[in-house]
């Protein structure tokens, strides 16, 4: 793929791909990474949280 999270693609996203990360609660951050909770839900997270543990993803999803 390459550069899937850059440029024009971002403008098509709501709020240009920015928002509040459900895992680390950073605001105005680009939520470009999809993580899956252990029950199969998709969660959009920031770059930092793309490497977060499953535990943190699940915790964020349950809030
Ligand atoms: Zn985050």
Cα 8 to ligand 1 centroid, rounded to whole Å: 22
State pTM to two decimals. 0.82
Residues paired with residue 43 on neighbouring β-strands, in sequence order = 35
Task: Work out the average pLDDT over 10-36.
Answer: 92
Predicted pLDDT at 6: 80
Cα 9 to ligand 1 centroid, rounded to whole Å: 20
CA dihedral 22, 28, 30, 35 (to 10 degrees): 0
Cα 36 to ligand 1 centroid, rounded to whole Å: 14
Predicted pLDDT at 1: 57
How far is 23 from 60, CA to CA, in rounded Å?
5
Predicted pLDDT at 2: 65
For the record, the structure tokens of 16 come out as 């240009």
Sequence spans of domains, the chain: 8-62
Cα 45 to ligand 1 centroid, rounded to whole Å: 5
Cα 46 to ligand 1 centroid, rounded to whole Å: 4
The DSSP element (H or E) to which 10 belongs, if any, is helix 8-12
Question: What is the CB neighbour count within 10 angstroms for residue 13?
Answer: 15
């Amino acid at each position: 793929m390459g550069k899937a999270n850059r440029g024009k693609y971002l403008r098509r996203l709501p709020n240009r791909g920015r928002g509040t990360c459900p895992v680390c609660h950073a605001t105005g951050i680009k939520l470009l990474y999809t993580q899956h909770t252990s029950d199969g839900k998709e969660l959009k997270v920031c770059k930092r949280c793309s490497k977060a543990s499953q535990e943190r993803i699940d915790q964020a999803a349950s809030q």
